[in-house]
């Protein structure tokens, strides 16, 4: 299994390169204690986030999200590893 995933990823990347398709750009904002309404993109009258507004105007935003854990550290580990907190072992900040 450890060898199959890199080979699969290489084949997918090579296939995309051969077809001449552009890979999508993805920007993920990771912040501590930031809620949905804490940026002007989602309607906050108090916070001014002009750069995020420009990115949102030229791209795509997601209105629904799921986190693996209510704590920051386990959730960040899950995003970076693709594993649930029970698998990677980070359970507290």
- 43 located within any domain: yes
R_g of the chain computed on alpha carbons: 17
Residue 7 has a pLDDT of 77
pTM: 0.56
Q: Are residues 44 and 57 in the same domain?
A: yes
The mean pLDDT value for 63-81 works out to 84
Q: Are residues 53 and 74 in the same domain?
A: no
Q: Which residues neighbour 53 within 8 Å (Cβ) at sequence distance 6 or greater?
A: 40, 41
Active-site residue flag, 72: yes
Neighbours of 12 (CB within 10 A): 10
Q: Report how many domains make up the chain.
A: 2
Q: Are residues 55 and 77 in the same domain?
A: no
Residue-number span of the structural domain to which 50 is assigned:
24-62
Q: Quick one: DSSP state of residue 37?
A: T
Q: Are residues 71 and 58 in the same domain?
A: no
Q: Are residues 69 and 41 in the same domain?
A: no
* End-to-end alpha carbon distance in the chain: 31
- 54 located within any domain: yes
Report the candidate in 37, 61, 40 with the shortest Cα–Cα distance to residue 49.
40
Catalytic member of 56, 72, 73, 83:
72
């Amino acid at each position: 299994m450890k060898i199959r995933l890199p080979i699969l990823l290489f084949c997918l990347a090579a296939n995309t390169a051969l077809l001449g398709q552009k890979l999508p750009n993805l920007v993920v904002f990771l912040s501590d204690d930031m809620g949905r309404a804490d940026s002007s993109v989602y309607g906050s009258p108090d916070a001014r986030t002009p750069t995020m507004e420009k990115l949102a105007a030229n791209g795509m935003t997601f209105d629904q999200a799921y986190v693996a854990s209510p704590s920051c550290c386990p959730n960040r580990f899950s995003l970076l590893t693709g594993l649930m907190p029970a698998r990677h072992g980070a359970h507290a900040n």
